[in-house]
């Protein structure tokens, strides 16, 4: 039976057709037709299978006939096909069934059976030698222990790939299988171990101890971790401790959540409520707050804000900052305060400030301190212990270093200070502990038991702190000090002068300049200055200490007076001159005043008393006044404030009054002898009168000076008061006048000259005073006769130099005034602006503006000068030229002192300019003819001299400009870099900062006295000076004011008519320039005298004459001083111990300096020194008896 | 000796501003006088107008140093600050770092500042911010660059570098020859 495949059937072929067609060849049993269709259902092809019982021959015939024959539309393809699937399946099943019917045979059993037959039982053959083969089984061998094992063929790697393993030959690795005979049943196995009570055995037994509540801990740790995370997020580093808690609070909720989760998974304890968890957290935190803190700042790392102030002020300008702050607070108004003289004040301030600083620091850094505290308190970890050590080390180190660098300062800078270093270090050590104490002293913040309380408190503490910090930050950023070089310290007076120049307050600036110049001169003069300086500094420092304590205004005023006294005594050191500047400077603070005044307390040496009398001319008068003040304490108090303010605000009217006072005083009959002095000023009066007459008279004259002021001058009290103090400004003028007088005397020119000069002075002072001066100028001849002393020529020359300087300063002042007035009056005369120097115009304008009251005088003047004609003008110009050439002139070259020569050289600069100016003037006059406007005027020349300077300084200005441009450029660049708006500071207004880092100690500089250690000198003779004042004060009441009035009236009547014209002119000019009258007078002189004489005289009058007059003044002053001291001696009986007074008042300190002088000079002082040995009182002390 | 060009000025100011920020203004615009920067031998000197004028009297080849040397321009025209500028950086520094006494010496020998030696640091210090290094007694020791922010400084391990060393006052001795 075969199964055939028949392909290529036509569509019409059916099964029956197939059966029929193949029926011929065999018996067809099963026919199956399959139709393949495409997707559309259309038939593709048809084929079929048939089972046919056919023989091979028949099959071949069938294939031969029917294969590839077409039948009913298709070509047949006949092939043999596999048996049908179903058929095969059925066959297989049938076979399986047949198999199952057959019996199974297990080969192992067969083997065992065969072994049994061979005598092997259970694979063991007893009593068989290993290696014997088992009969019937080729591959089985007896091995060790009689065991029957198969020989195994193993596949090997080597050459013989099959390795035959014969177990009998490898017996050694076979172990005996032990058959356990006693088999224990499971029930008999050990189920229980009996042992002791120790934990292991218990645990072995399965008894575990009760579970500890450790899960809580794990919770808290989690919360802490969270808090730390929160901290990180918070990003604020500063408030670590507080923040921790805040964060914890914040994390309370989150901790709760996590706690819940944990409870779910770990503890299976859902009952924990939020509150409970919170409580747990808080308690845990309370229990060990250190944990958190230590976690945060494990290394005691401190994080500080931007506003952290570096302690080492001394190095890096912290002083400056302080200075800035203080100055900002105290004296914004003052421009002069930045003067270098303030350093000691700064230092004194600093002490207090450091203390003040320490306090805020403690407030600021509770967090830090708390941190430290916590770390120090923490006992837990060894790390923390280490931290503690670190802290202690740090503090020690700080202390050490603190002392160290201060000590360095002292050593490096001052030997003297090094001596006192111990004291200072002690003081600072007192301060330092305070700073250090902040950590322990910081209040412990964590006091509350309740977590909410703690949190609340912390929050409260935190916020304000931050705010304050912010504020601080702002402030600090603003207040960063500008950098300051040492320029100011070493640069000398020039910068300050420059600064002052634009200052509107012309007078103050003028004064300052003058003082500075004086200073220079004095430096050149003083050979012994260095030694003295050191002593002075020491003493002054000591005095300062005392003075600072006493803030009473009276004391300050007294100090002022004493300083002035010292000036009068004549030791013209840098200090004295500076003190004058300082005292006059606008500083409203009493402290500064005291300081400056203290500086002025130099031990006056006898030599110097002679030298600098000229300067004392003004100051001595002040002295008297100050003594007055001393007696009347109330007056003083009222005065001192006015003094402070007056300096700045001294109006011209006050100046007038002052000058008028000077001019008026001379009117006394007593002064007929000292007529010169009267003209010059009260001081000269005093000195001369003391020489020749009784002290009482001198004093009276002084008093007359002082008291009439108040009455005669119809001004407010304040003004009068200020006039007393403001005599200094006047001083320049008076001294000038005095110098002119002296010069005239020396040259011994005619009386007329003197009178003229004096009148000039008086005119400059006041119109009234002019008339009065006329009176005084009558007396001049006497004075000339009297003053023949030429022993003191040196001093005179010095005086002259001083005067010249003063003059120069006045010139500068004039310039300023002119500029100011020009500003005011520019509109009026703009049309007049002509080609030549604008300064001339300005001058003219100044004149016109200055004399708005007297327009006729201008006319008169012009007329008058027209009369004199161009010749005169030319003459004057010539004269001035000569002056210029001679400035150092006859006297200067004659001078024996080299110092003077040096000074003269300094002076020579100006005259040269004047010479140029003179030439210019000549040219101008040649071109403009006799125009009255261009008449020679000393003011003109002097004012012109300045422009000359400027011309020469033009290149410098260019350089400056370039620098400024550069600066601007760099600022622009900076701006571009920083993207911020940077505005250049107003350098003028900026305060003078000092770069302390680059500061080197210079014993010659006054400011550096602050660095010196102060040694206290016994205060002995200060009382003498004081007594002096007192005596003077006592005598003041004696002065009769009536006399003054009378004389003034008479003088006016007598002389007013003759010189009205000139007087008026000069009075007008006075306000702005005191020199105009002088010039005019010079012209007059020229006209009167021969040319040669006139030249010399005028020159002398202009500059040289000062020397002459100065000499006279000096002589008088000298005598005056000597006599005054004698007076003291007379009074010493009751004053025996000055100390008593010293203890009572600050002035004593000031007076100390003068001790030396007085001691050397006079015998009277000696007793005081002898008594100094006692420290306080002794029985029957005279002081107690005599004075209070 | 010549003034700086704009580019040089910018370079230098950028460098300086890393340490003192806008406080450069205070160096340029000082109330006590005119101060300026000058370039000489590739080095930048800061001097007052007065010194400048004095220095004009000295020929270029003979002039070794004038004023305060702030630093020098490298061959690649970068600016490098010298320790001599510390005097001007320290007072105005915005960000400061205090080193513990123990690691002072290490720093002064030219080593970086480790976390273990860090005693104090200004808050909010950014990474690579220029900082001035002080001793705990507030003596400026030098300057450098913060290697880590303040926040990071708290976390890092003690041996990690916190401040990169740039200059210290030990250089006054170590490199005495090259400091001008």
Q: Chain B partners of A315 at a C-beta cutoff of 8 Å? A: 139-140
Structure tokens at A382: 């060894």
Mean pLDDT of A559-567: 42
The rounded distance, in Å, linking the Cα atoms of A948 and A385 is: 77
The rounded distance, in Å, linking the Cα atoms of A284 and A219 is: 10
pLDDT of residue A50 exceeding 50, the answer is yes
Q: Residue A488's pLDDT band (boundaries 50, 70, 90)?
A: very low
The rounded distance, in Å, linking the Cα atoms of A213 and A711 is: 100
Residue with tokens 């923390």: A384
State percent of chain A over pLDDT 70. Answer: 24
Q: Chain B partners of A316 at a C-beta cutoff of 8 Å? A: 90-91, 140
Q: Chain B partners of A987 at a C-beta cutoff of 8 Å? A: 29-31, 33
CA B44 to chain A, closest CA, distance in angstroms equals 14
Q: Residue A822's pLDDT band (boundaries 50, 70, 90)?
A: low
Contact between B10 and A984 using a beta-carbon 8 Å cutoff: no
Contact between A301 and B121 using a beta-carbon 8 Å cutoff: yes
Q: What is the mean pLDDT of chain A?
A: 55
Q: What is the pLDDT of residue A974?
A: 80
Q: What is the pLDDT of residue B143?
A: 92
Pairing of β B96-99 and β A140-142: unpaired
Which of A1151, A1154, A1142, A1140 is closest to A1182 using CA atoms?
A1140
Count H helices and E strands in chain A, helices first.
Answer: 52, 11
CA B104 to chain A, closest CA, distance in angstroms equals 12
Point out the least confidently predicted range of A142-151, A553-562, A1051-1060, B50-59. A553-562
Give the 3-state DSSP-derived string for A1129-1145, with helices as H, strands as E and coil as C: HHHHHHHCCHHHHHHHC
Q: Residue B145's pLDDT band (boundaries 50, 70, 90)?
A: very high
Structure tokens at A893: 């070259």
Most confident of A382-386, A471-475, A1066-1070, B111-115: B111-115
pLDDT of residue B12 exceeding 80, the answer is yes
Closest Cβ–Cβ partner in B13, B91, B151 for A974: B13
Q: What is the pLDDT of residue A662?
A: 41
Q: Chain A partners of B67 at a C-beta cutoff of 8 Å? A: none
Which of A647, A656, A617 is closest to A737 using CA atoms?
A617
Tell which wins on pLDDT, A574 or B93.
B93
Contact between B50 and A491 using a beta-carbon 8 Å cutoff: yes
The rounded distance, in Å, linking the Cα atoms of A70 and A988 is: 130
Q: Chain A partners of B119 at a C-beta cutoff of 8 Å? A: 300-302, 394
The rounded distance, in Å, linking the Cα atoms of A124 and A109 is: 16
Asked if B156 has any chain A CB less than 8 Å from its own CB, the reply is no
Closest Cβ–Cβ partner in A237, A312, A982 for B150: A237
The rounded distance, in Å, linking the Cα atoms of A736 and A652 is: 18
Point out the least confidently predicted range of A389-393, A796-800, A848-852, B30-34. A848-852
Q: What is the pLDDT of residue A80?
A: 87
CA A547 to chain B, closest CA, distance in angstroms equals 31
Q: What is the pLDDT of residue A1102?
A: 47
Q: Chain A partners of B9 at a C-beta cutoff of 8 Å? A: 969-970, 973
pLDDT of residue A761 exceeding 80, the answer is no
Would you give the end-to-end CA distance of chain B in angstroms? 14
> Is residue A1137 a contact partner of residue A1169, using CB atoms and an 8 Å limit?
no
Residue of A483, A964, A981 for testing the chain B interface, max B β-carbons within 10 Å? A483
Closest Cβ–Cβ partner in B4, B25, B88 for A971: B25
Concatenating the DSSP letter of every residue in A932-984 gives GGG---HHHHHHHHHHHHHHHTHHHHHHHHHHHHHHHHHHHHHHHHHTS----
> Is residue A801 a contact partner of residue A698, using CB atoms and an 8 Å limit?
no
pLDDT of residue A700 exceeding 50, the answer is no
The interface residues of chain B toward chain A in range 37-66, judged by CB-CB distance below 8 A, are: 37, 48-50, 52-53
Structure tokens at B112: 């970086």
Q: Chain A partners of B123 at a C-beta cutoff of 8 Å? A: 236-238, 303-306
Q: What is the pLDDT of residue A936?
A: 54
H-helix or E-strand spanning residue A164: strand A162-165
Q: Chain A partners of B37 at a C-beta cutoff of 8 Å? A: 970
> Is residue A568 a contact partner of residue A623, using CB atoms and an 8 Å limit?
yes
Residue with tokens 């031998």: B41
Nearest chain B residue to A970, by CA = B9
pLDDT of residue A415 exceeding 50, the answer is yes
Tell which wins on pLDDT, A618 or A984.
A984
Asked if B151 has any chain A CB less than 8 Å from its own CB, the reply is yes
Q: What is the pLDDT of residues A1112-1168, one digit of tens each?
A: 444 444 444 444 444 444 444 454 455 554 444 444 444 444 444 444 454 444 444
Q: Residue A93's pLDDT band (boundaries 50, 70, 90)?
A: very high
Structure tokens at A252: 């309370």
Does this model's pTM top 0.80? My answer is no
> Is residue A1183 a contact partner of residue A1137, using CB atoms and an 8 Å limit?
yes
Q: What is the pLDDT of residue A836?
A: 58
> Is residue A879 a contact partner of residue A1094, using CB atoms and an 8 Å limit?
yes
Tell which wins on pLDDT, A466 or A215.
A215
Closest Cβ–Cβ partner in B53, B91, B122 for A317: B91
Contact between B13 and A973 using a beta-carbon 8 Å cutoff: yes
Q: What is the pLDDT of residue A643?
A: 40
pLDDT of residue A506 exceeding 60, the answer is no
How many C-beta atoms surround the C-beta of residue A1016 within 10 A?
14
Most confident of A57-71, A849-863, A930-944: A57-71
Most confident of A614-618, A668-672, A1044-1048: A1044-1048
How many C-beta atoms surround the C-beta of residue A145 within 10 A?
14
Q: Residue A695's pLDDT band (boundaries 50, 70, 90)?
A: very low
Q: Residue B165's pLDDT band (boundaries 50, 70, 90)?
A: very high
> Is residue A1006 a contact partner of residue A574, using CB atoms and an 8 Å limit?
yes
Contact between B150 and A481 using a beta-carbon 8 Å cutoff: no
Q: What is the pLDDT of residue A651?
A: 40
Point out the least confidently predicted range of A740-749, A982-991, A1177-1186. A740-749
Query: Which segments of B14-173 are extended strands (E)?
Result: 35-40, 43-48, 68-73, 79-81, 96-99, 113-114, 118-122, 130-135, 140-146, 161-168
DSSP letter at A133 equals B
CA A258 to chain B, closest CA, distance in angstroms equals 25
**Rounded to whole angstroms, what are the CA distances from A1020 to A525, A538, A562, A1112, A1122?**
28, 16, 14, 32, 18
Q: What is the pLDDT of residue B6?
A: 86
pLDDT of residue A489 exceeding 50, the answer is no
Tell which wins on pLDDT, A432 or A960.
A960
Tell which wins on pLDDT, A260 or A69.
A69
Which of A321, A309, A973, A475 is closest to B17 using CA atoms?
A973
Residues 6+ apart with CB under 8 A from A765: A656, A659, A660, A662, A663, A733, A773, A1070, A1074
CA B16 to chain A, closest CA, distance in angstroms equals 10
CA A302 to chain B, closest CA, distance in angstroms equals 4
Contact between A973 and B27 using a beta-carbon 8 Å cutoff: no
The rounded distance, in Å, linking the Cα atoms of A124 and A807 is: 148
Mean pLDDT of A447-473: 48
CA B49 to chain A, closest CA, distance in angstroms equals 8
Q: Residue A996's pLDDT band (boundaries 50, 70, 90)?
A: low
Structure tokens at A1129: 């001696």
Tell which wins on pLDDT, A1110 or A74.
A74
pLDDT of residue A244 exceeding 60, the answer is no
Mean pLDDT of B30-34: 83
Closest Cβ–Cβ partner in B92, B96, B139 for A312: B139
Q: What is the pLDDT of residue A106?
A: 75
CA B60 to chain A, closest CA, distance in angstroms equals 19
Residues 6+ apart with CB under 8 A from B21: A978, B92, B94
Tell which wins on pLDDT, A1046 or A842.
A1046
Nearest chain B residue to A491, by CA = B50
pLDDT of residue A847 exceeding 50, the answer is no
Give the 3-state DSSP-derived string for A40-68, with helices as H, strands as E and coil as C: CCCEEEEEEEEEEECCHHHHHHHHHHHCC
Contact between B87 and A998 using a beta-carbon 8 Å cutoff: yes
Phi-psi region of A572 (alpha: psi -120 to 50; beta: other; left: phi over 0): beta
The rounded distance, in Å, linking the Cα atoms of B25 and B11 is: 15
CA B57 to chain A, closest CA, distance in angstroms equals 15
Contact between A308 and B96 using a beta-carbon 8 Å cutoff: yes
Contact between A970 and B9 using a beta-carbon 8 Å cutoff: yes
How many C-beta atoms surround the C-beta of residue A113 within 10 A?
11
Q: What is the pLDDT of residues A368-389, one digit of tens each?
A: 444 444 444 444 444 444 444 4
Asked if B14 has any chain A CB less than 8 Å from its own CB, the reply is yes
DSSP letter at A1101 equals I
Contact between B9 and A232 using a beta-carbon 8 Å cutoff: no
Asked if B154 has any chain A CB less than 8 Å from its own CB, the reply is yes
DSSP letter at A570 equals T
Q: What is the pLDDT of residue A893?
A: 46
> Is residue A769 a contact partner of residue A1063, using CB atoms and an 8 Å limit?
no
Structure tokens at A176: 């005996």
Q: What is the pLDDT of residue A1164?
A: 46
Tell which wins on pLDDT, A695 or A511.
A511
Nearest chain B residue to A338, by CA = B32
In the A/B pair of chains, how many CB contacts fall below 8 A?
182
- What are the helix (H) ranges across A119-182? none
Q: Chain A partners of B137 at a C-beta cutoff of 8 Å? A: 311-312, 397-398, 401-402, 404-405
Give the 3-state DSSP-derived string for A1102-1164, with helices as H, strands as E and coil as C: HHHHHHHHHHHHHHHHHHHHHHHHHHHHHHHHHHCCHHHHHHHCCHHHHHHHHHHHHHHHCCC
Structure tokens at A528: 């012994």
Q: What is the pLDDT of residue A970?
A: 81
Q: What is the pLDDT of residue A285?
A: 61
Asked if B24 has any chain A CB less than 8 Å from its own CB, the reply is yes
- Residue A413 in 3-state DSSP? helix
> Is residue B137 a contact partner of residue B104, using CB atoms and an 8 Å limit?
no
Q: What is the pLDDT of residue A549?
A: 46
Contact between A480 and B34 using a beta-carbon 8 Å cutoff: no
Contact between B91 and A482 using a beta-carbon 8 Å cutoff: no
Closest Cβ–Cβ partner in B23, B87, B123 for A303: B123
Tell which wins on pLDDT, A257 or B59.
B59
> Is residue A140 a contact partner of residue A128, using CB atoms and an 8 Å limit?
no
Q: What is the pLDDT of residue B132?
A: 92
CA A390 to chain B, closest CA, distance in angstroms equals 9
DSSP bridge partners of A152: A165
The rounded distance, in Å, linking the Cα atoms of A675 and A592 is: 38
Nearest chain B residue to A393, by CA = B101
Most confident of A712-716, A740-744, A790-794, A1056-1060: A790-794
CA A1101 to chain B, closest CA, distance in angstroms equals 38
Q: What is the pLDDT of residues A250-271, one digit of tens each?
A: 444 444 444 434 333 444 444 4
Contact between A959 and B53 using a beta-carbon 8 Å cutoff: yes
At B4, give phi and psi (nearest 5°).
-75, 145
Contact between B151 and A232 using a beta-carbon 8 Å cutoff: yes
pLDDT of residue A862 exceeding 60, the answer is no
State percent of chain A over pLDDT 90. Answer: 1
Mean pLDDT of A1064-1092: 47
Q: What is the rounded (10 degree) CA torsion for A762, A766, A770, A773?
A: -50
Q: What is the pLDDT of residue A308?
A: 72
């Amino acid at each position: 039976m075969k199964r055939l495949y028949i392909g290529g059937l036509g569509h019409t072929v059916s099964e029956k057709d197939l059966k029929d067609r193949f029926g011929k060849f065999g018996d067809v049993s099963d026919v199956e037709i399959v139709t393949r269709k495409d997707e559309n259902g259309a038939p593709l092809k048809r084929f079929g299978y048939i089972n046919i019982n056919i023989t091979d021959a028949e099959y071949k015939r069938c294939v031969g006939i029917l294969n590839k024959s077409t039948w009913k539309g298709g070509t047949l393809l006949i092939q043999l096909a596999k048996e049908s699937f179903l058929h095969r399946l059925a066959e297989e099943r049938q076979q399986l069934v047949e198999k199952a019917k057959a019996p199974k045979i297990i080969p192992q059993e067969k083997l065992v059976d065969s072994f049994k037959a061979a005598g092997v039982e259970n694979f063991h053959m007893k009593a068989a030698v290993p290696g014997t083969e088992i009969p019937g089984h080729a591959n089985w061998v007896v091995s060790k222990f009689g065991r029957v094992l198969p020989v195994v063929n193993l596949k090997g790697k080597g050459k013989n790939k099959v390795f035959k393993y014969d177990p009998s030959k490898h017996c050694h690795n076979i172990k005996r299988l032990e058959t356990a005979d006693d088999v224990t049943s499971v029930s008999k196995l050990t189920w229980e171990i009996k042992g002791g009570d120790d934990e292991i055995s218990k645990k072995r037994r399965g008894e575990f101890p009760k579970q500890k509540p450790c899960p809580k801990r794990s919770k808290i740790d989690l919360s802490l971790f969270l808090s730390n995370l929160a901290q990180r997020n918070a990003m604020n580093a500063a408030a670590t401790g507080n923040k921790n808690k805040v964060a914890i609070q914040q994390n309370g909720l989150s901790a709760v959540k996590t706690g819940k989760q944990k409870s779910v998974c770990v503890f299976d304890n859902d009952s924990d409520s939020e509150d409970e968890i919170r409580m747990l957290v808080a308690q845990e935190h309370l229990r060990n707050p250190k944990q958190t803190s230590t976690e945060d700042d494990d290394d005691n790392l401190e994080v500080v804000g931007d506003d952290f102030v570096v302690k080492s002020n001394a190095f890096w300008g912290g002083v400056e900052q302080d200075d800035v702050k203080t100055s900002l607070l105290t004296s914004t108004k003052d421009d002069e305060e930045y003067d270098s003289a303030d350093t000691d004040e700064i230092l004194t301030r600093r002490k207090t400030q450091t203390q003040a600083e320490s306090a805020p620091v403690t407030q600021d850094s509770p967090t830090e301190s708390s941190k430290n505290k916590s770390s120090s308190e923490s006992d837990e970890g060894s790390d923390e212990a280490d931290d503690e050590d670190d802290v202690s080390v740090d503090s020690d180190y700080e202390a050490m270093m603190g002392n160290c660098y201060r000590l360095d300062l002292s050593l490096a800078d001052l030997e003297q200070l090094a001596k006192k270093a111990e004291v200072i270090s002690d003081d600072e050590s007192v301060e330092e502990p305070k700073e250090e104490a902040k950590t322990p002293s910081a209040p412990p913040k964590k006091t509350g038991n309740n977590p909410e309380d703690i949190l609340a408190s912390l929050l409260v503490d935190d916020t304000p702190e931050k705010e304050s910090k912010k504020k601080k930050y702002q402030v600090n950023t603003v207040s960063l000090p500008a950098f300051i070089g040492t320029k100011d310290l070493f640069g000398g007076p020039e910068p300050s002068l420059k600064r002052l120049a634009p200052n509107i307050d012309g007078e103050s600036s003028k004064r300052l300049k003058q003082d500075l110049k004086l200073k220079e001169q004095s430096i050149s003069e003083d050979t012994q200055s260095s030694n003295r300086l050191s002593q002075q500094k020491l003493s002054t420092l000591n005095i300062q200490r005392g003075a600072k304590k006493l803030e009473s205004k009276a004391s300050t005023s007294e100090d002022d007076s004493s300083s002035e006294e010292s000036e009068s005594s004549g030791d013209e050191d840098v200090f004295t001159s500076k003190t004058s500047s300082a005292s006059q400077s606008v500083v409203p603070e009493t402290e500064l005043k005291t300081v400056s005044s203290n500086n002025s307390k130099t031990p006056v040496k006898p030599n110097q008393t002679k030298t600098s009398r000229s300067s004392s001319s003004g100051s001595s008068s002040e002295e008297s006044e100050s003594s007055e003040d001393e007696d009347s304490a109330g007056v003083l108090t009222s005065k001192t404030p006015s003094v402070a303010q007056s300096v700045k605000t001294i109006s011209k009217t006050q100046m007038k009054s002052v000058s008028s006072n000077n001019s008026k005083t001379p009117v006394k009959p007593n002064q007929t002898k000292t007529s010169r002095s009267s003209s010059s000023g009260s001081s000269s009066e005093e000195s001369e009168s003391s020489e020749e007459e009784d002290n009482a008279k001198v004093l009276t004259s002084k008093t007359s000076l002082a008291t009439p002021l108040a009455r005669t001058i119809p001004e407010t009290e304040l003004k009068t008061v200020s006039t007393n103090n403001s005599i200094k400004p006047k001083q320049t003028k008076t001294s000038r006048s005095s110098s002119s007088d002296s010069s005239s005397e020396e040259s011994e020119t005619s009386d007329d000259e003197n009178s003229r000069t004096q009148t000039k002075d008086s005119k400059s002072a006041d119109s009234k005073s002019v008339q009065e001066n006329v009176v005084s100028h009558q007396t001049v001849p006497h004075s000339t006769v009297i003053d023949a002393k030429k022993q003191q020529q040196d001093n005179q020359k010095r005086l002259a130099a001083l005067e010249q300087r003063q003059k120069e300063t006045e010139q500068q002042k004039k310039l300023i005034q002119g500029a100011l007035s020009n500003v005011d009056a520019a509109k009026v005369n703009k049309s007049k602006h002509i080609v030549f120097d604008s300064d001339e115009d300005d001058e003219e304008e100044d004149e016109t503006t200055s004399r708005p009251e007297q327009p006729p005088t201008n006319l008169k003047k012009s007329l008058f000068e027209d009369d004199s004609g161009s010749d005169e003008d030319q003459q004057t110009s010539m004269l001035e030229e000569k002056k210029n050439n001679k400035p150092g002139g006859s006297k200067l070259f004659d001078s024996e002192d080299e110092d003077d020569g040096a000074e003269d050289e300094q002076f020579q600069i100006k005259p040269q300019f004047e010479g140029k100016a003179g030439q210019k003037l000549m040219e101008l006059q040649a071109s403009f003819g006799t125009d009255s406007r261009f008449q020679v005027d000393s003011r003109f020349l002097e004012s012109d001299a300045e422009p000359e300077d400027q011309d020469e300084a033009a290149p410098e200005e260019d350089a400056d400009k370039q620098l400024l441009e550069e600066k601007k450029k760099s600022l622009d660049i900076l701006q571009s870099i920083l993207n911020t708006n940077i505005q250049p500071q107003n350098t003028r207004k900026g305060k003078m900062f000092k770069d302390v880092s680059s500061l080197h100690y210079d014993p010659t500089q006054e400011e550096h006295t602050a660095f010196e250690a102060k040694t206290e000198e016994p205060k002995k003779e200060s009382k003498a000076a004081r007594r002096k004042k007192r005596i003077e004060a006592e005598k003041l009441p004696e002065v009769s004011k009536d006399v003054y009035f009378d004389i003034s009236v008479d003088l006016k009547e007598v002389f007013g008519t003759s010189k009205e014209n000139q007087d008026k002119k000069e009075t007008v000019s006075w306000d702005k320039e005191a020199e105009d009258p002088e010039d005019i007078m010079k012209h007059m002189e020229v006209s009167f005298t021969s040319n040669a004489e006139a030249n010399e005289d005028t020159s002398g009058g202009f500059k040289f004459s000062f020397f002459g007059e100065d000499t006279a003044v000096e002589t008088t002053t000298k005598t005056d001083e000597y006599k005054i001291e004698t007076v003291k001696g007379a009074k010493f009986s009751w004053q025996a111990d000055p100390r008593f007074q010293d203890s009572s008042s600050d002035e004593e300190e000031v007076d100390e300096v003068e001790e030396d002088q007085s001691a050397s000079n006079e015998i009277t002082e000696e007793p005081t020194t002898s008594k100094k040995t006692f420290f306080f009182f002794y029985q029957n002390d005279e002081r107690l008896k005599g004075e209070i | 000796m010549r003034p700086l060009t704009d580019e040089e000025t910018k370079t230098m100011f950028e460098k300086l501003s890393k340490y003192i920020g806008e406080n450069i203004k205070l160096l340029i615009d000082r109330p006590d006088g005119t101060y300026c920067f000058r370039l000489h031998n590739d080095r930048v000197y800061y001097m007052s107008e007065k010194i400048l004028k004095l220095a004009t009297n000295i020929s270029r080849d003979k002039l070794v140093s004038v004023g305060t040397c702030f630093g020098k321009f490298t061959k690649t025209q970068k600016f490098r600050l010298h320790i001599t500028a510390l005097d001007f950086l320290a007072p105005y520094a915005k960000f400061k770092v205090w080193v513990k006494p123990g690691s002072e010496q290490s720093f002064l020998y030219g080593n970086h500042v480790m976390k273990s030696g860090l005693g104090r640091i200004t808050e909010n210090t950014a990474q690579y911010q220029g900082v001035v290094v002080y001793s705990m007694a507030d003596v400026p020791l030098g300057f450098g660059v913060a290697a880590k922010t303040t926040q990071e400084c708290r976390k890092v391990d003690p041996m990690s570098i916190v401040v990169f060393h740039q200059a210290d006052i030990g250089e006054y001795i170590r490199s005495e020859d090259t400091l001008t």
